Amino acid sequence: MNESTLKEDILNILRILSSGAAFTQRDLSTHLGFSLGKTNYLLKELAKKGLVKIKNFSHKDHKLKRISYNLTPEGWKQKTELTLHFLKRKQEEYETLRREWEGLFPGAEVNVARK
Q: Please write the tens of the pLDDT for every residue from 98-112.
A: 999 888 888 777 666
Residue at 111 is within a domain: no
Q: Please write the tens of the pLDDT for every residue from 78-95.
A: 999 999 999 999 999 999
The CATH number covering residue 17 comes to 1.10.10.10
The total domain count for the chain is 1
Residue at 60 is within a domain: yes
Residue at 31 is within a domain: yes
What is the sign of the dihedral through the CA atoms of 85, 87, 90 and 91? Answer: negative
pLDDT band at 65 (very low <50, low <70, confident <90, very high): low
Domain that holds residue 62: 3-104
Residue at 20 is within a domain: yes
Residue at 82 is within a domain: yes
Specify the long-range contacts of residues 11-16, CB closer than 8 Å, at least 24 apart.
Answer: 11/79, 11/82, 11/83, 11/86, 13/39, 13/42, 13/43, 13/46, 14/46, 14/51, 14/52, 14/71, 14/75, 14/78, 14/79, 14/82, 15/79, 15/83
